[in-house]
Amino acid sequence: MTQHPLAFGAMQCGGRADAAQSMAMFDACYAAGIRHFDTAWIYTDGASETLVGQFAKAHDIQIATKIGYTGGAGRANLAAQFDTSRRRLGCDHIDLLYLHRFDPDTALQETLEVFADWQSRGLIARIGLSNFAAWAVMKAQGVAAALGTRIDAIQPMYSLVKRQAEVELLPMAADQGITAYTYSPLGGGLLSGKYAAGGAGRLTEDSRYAARYSQGAMAAAAEGLARLAAEMGTHPATLAVAWAKCHPARPVPLISARNTEQLAPSLAAADYLMTAETYARMAALYPAPPPATDRTEEA
C-alpha cells in the first residue's frame, strides 16, 4: 500500500464528532487517498475504535491503534486492552500497534516480549511507540533487536508551535528508518485561525489543551500564520499541515476534525507545494528549540 503524505487521527470520532460525522470524514479521507487510520483503546470510551472497525469492513485501510495509556505496560494490562481493541475493531490482525506512552515502572523487556510474541503469531504487523523520548525509543530498539524485531513507528506531537520533536526524535526516526506519524499538526486547532475569529473547540473546552497552548508566543505565531495565509490566498490549516509534513525527516501528520468542513483545509495540504521560502517564513513565526548539545555557537 503506497504511503500517503497524510494519515487520519480518529481521536474525536464517537465524541466531538458523532458517528455520522466520523463516517463522512472517513469517506472524505479515503476518497483523497488516505489509507492509514489511527485510533486508540482509550479514545472516546471505545467508540473511536468501533467506528474505525466498521469502516474497515468495507474499505482496504491500515489500522493503527494504541494500548497502555492507562494501567501500565505490563503483560496482563496490555493483553486485556489488546483483546478489547481487536473486539471493537472487529479484526484479529492490527497493522500497527503502539504502546501509548512510556511506563517507567515496567521494563521494556517485558513489554516488548509481549509485542514480539503477538507479531510472531501474526496478530500485529508493526510495532510503534507513542509519546516516547528519543533515548527511550533507542533503548526499546535495542531490546527489540535482541528479540528479532524492531520499532517501526513513533507518534510524537509536532506542529509549528510544538517543535521539540525536531531536536532528536525526527532525526532519530530518519536515521533508524522509523516512520514518524505526528499528531496535532494544527496545535489543537490554534493554527486553524478559528480561535482568533472567536470560535470554540478543544482549546476552550479542554483544560489540558488550554494549558498546552497557553503561551503568548503561540498565539502570536497563529496570528502571523493567518496573515501569511491571507497573503497567499490559502487556509492557515493547509499551511500548518503542509509545513509539518515538509520536515526533512518526512513525518506523516495525523489530521483530524469534527466534520468534513473542518477537515477540508487539512486534506488540501496533501497536494500543497511548499516552497523553501514559505517554509522558512513559517518557521520564523515560532522559535526553534535549542539543539541537543550545548555547542550552540556551532549550530
* Catalytic residue ranges: 43
Residue carrying C-alpha cell 497524510: 6
The helix or strand, by DSSP H or E, that contains position 97, with its residue range, turns out to be: strand 94-99
Cβ-based neighbours of 206, under 8 Å, separated by 6 or more: none
Are residues 52 and 254 in contact, defined by beta-carbon separation less than 8 angstroms? Answer: no
Cβ-based neighbours of 255, under 8 Å, separated by 6 or more: 6, 7, 8, 9, 29, 185, 241, 263, 266, 267, 269
- b/e map of 182-195 (b: 16 or more CB within 10 Å)? bbbbbbbbbbbbbb
Cβ-based neighbours of 233, under 8 Å, separated by 6 or more: none
Cβ-based neighbours of 114, under 8 Å, separated by 6 or more: 75, 78, 79
Most distant CA atoms of the chain, gap in Å: 55
